[in-house]
Each structure stands twice: as C-alpha cells, then as structure tokens.
Amino acid sequence: MRRLPELWGVLNVTPDSFSDGGRYFDVAAACARVRELVALGADVIDVGGESTRPPGTTYGEGYADVDVQEELRRVLPAIEAAVADGARVSIDTTKLEVARHALDAGASIVNFVGERASDELLALVAEEGATIVLMHNVGRGQVVSVEASPAEMAREVEASLLREAQRAEGFGIPGEHIYLDPGIGFAKTAVQSAGLLGSLRSLVRTGYPILVGASRKSFIGELAREPNGARPAPSERLGGSIAAAIAAARAGARAVRVHDVRETRQALLVWAKITEGEGE
C-alpha cells in the first residue's frame, strides 16, 4: 500500500476559530478532545490558542489578538494532556514565548503561522531539536495578488518557502525537520488555493516534507456552493475537505492538517487501496 500522509488533528482552544470556536475552549473539553483525536488515529495533535480566521463577509473582522499569557493559559493544559497520552504535539502559534513554553511542556513541533519566523524562533527550534512548519502567509487580511494566475501563485509560494527553508537550515535545523505549508486560504483567492493543491507535486519535489491544511477552509465553500448559491458553513465542508486531503496525498504530501480525523483517515485508506496498482 502507498504511504499515507500523517494526520494532524486540529485542536482549537479558542472562542473564535472559524470552524469550531468555543467548542473546546474549556480545559476539560479540550483534554477530552485530545484523547478522542488520539483514539481516532491522529498522528499529531496540532494545538492552537489564537484563531487565524480571516476577515471578510463570512467571519467579520477576523481573529482577535491574544496576549502571550492568555494563549499559554489556553494551550498548555491540552499540550500536557496530549503528551501524557503519548501523542506527538504541534503548537500552532506566531509567538516565540508560546513556542518556548510549549516545547518545554513536551511539544515537538512548532507550526508557525505568521509571516516570517524570527531568528530567535529558528534558533530555539534548532537548539531544542524540534521540527518547524513554515507557512506561506503575507499578512493579516492581505491577498498576494488577485490577478495572479494559479501557476504564478504556485511559483511565488514555492520560491518564498524555499528561501525560508534555506534560512532555517542556516540556523542548524535539518531539512527533514522543516515542513513547508503552502498556506491554503491565507492571502489567496479560492481559485489560487485550488491551484496550489493542483500543483502541489512541484513543492513536494523540493525534498522538504509538505504539510497541507485545507480542512473546512473558505475556498471549499466558495468553489462548492449549495444548489441555492449559498456557501456551506465550515462544518458542512467535509466532502470538499476530504477531496483536498486526497489531492494532497496523491501529490505526495507528508501530512494533512484536518478537523475530521476519522472520516479523512477512512477516505485515505480506501483511496490508497483502490489506487495501489497505479504506481504513482
């Protein structure tokens, strides 16, 4: 059977995430969700204490900034619970001090979702022997270029991520510990996001492990509207999310970040069996 991508189960410990804000904000609920994700087959628990929901007509003003102490209050109990259950843990953050405390608590991956990782963060990851995810993101509420074709966008994303990956290696982080994330839905139109998935094989060929986070993203709602023209709510985008996960797996992505672990795992297992003779 072909190699399947790692499943990174999303755990948003926030009141305002676009998909499940508030559902796991309570410590007990978050810890229970950790155990559930592990039981469902998540390879990594990706814990986030600050929403990255985009501004716009769907989500209003977008996410609210959270200070370091509040973010730590949200994420540390969930990280400790996941580590206690033997899970690999990723901290989804933009803040150096949050990353530092998360690594101290047992996380082994920093999923950096900001514009550019600081020298201090890269040095920390290298010193701790941790893994870092570098995501393509040009800034809050920005779009790289609405005129850029999907092919142009893919070239820009790949060039930008390669520069940052090489910079990270300069701090002593091994290439195998540098995941690249094309930033589906971050500062990109729906068509551009779909195009990035379609051209993902080029990014895979760079040799760095690739993480794709397309689950429940707004581009799915835009591209797959209901018969009456309405955009499906985030919780109603499972079909599109699974399609994106299969596209990522087909291209050779190392990992997919998903909300629906059981359903995605099931779909990938069946897809892999159906296509095992294709030799891709």
Q: Which residues are catalytic?
A: 217, 257
3-state helix, strand, coil in the chain (%, to 5): 45, 15, 40
Q: How far apart are CA 57 and CA 104, in angstroms?
A: 39
- Which residue type, as a one-letter code, is found at position 19? S
Other C-beta atoms closer than 10 Å to the C-beta of 98 total: 25
Q: How far apart are CA 177 and CA 121, in angstroms?
A: 14
CB contact set of 261 (below 8 Å; sequence gap of 6+): 7, 9, 37, 40, 41, 42
Assign 92 to helix, strand or coil: strand
Cross-strand pairs, 111: 92, 133
CA neighbor of 210 nearest in space, from 221, 223, 199: 199
Residue 115 burial class via C-beta count within 10 angstroms: exposed 0-12, middle 13-18, buried 19 and up? middle
Cβ pair 248, 256 in contact under 8 A: yes
For 162-181, give one letter per residue: b (16+ CB within 10 A) or e: eebbebbbebebeeebbbbb
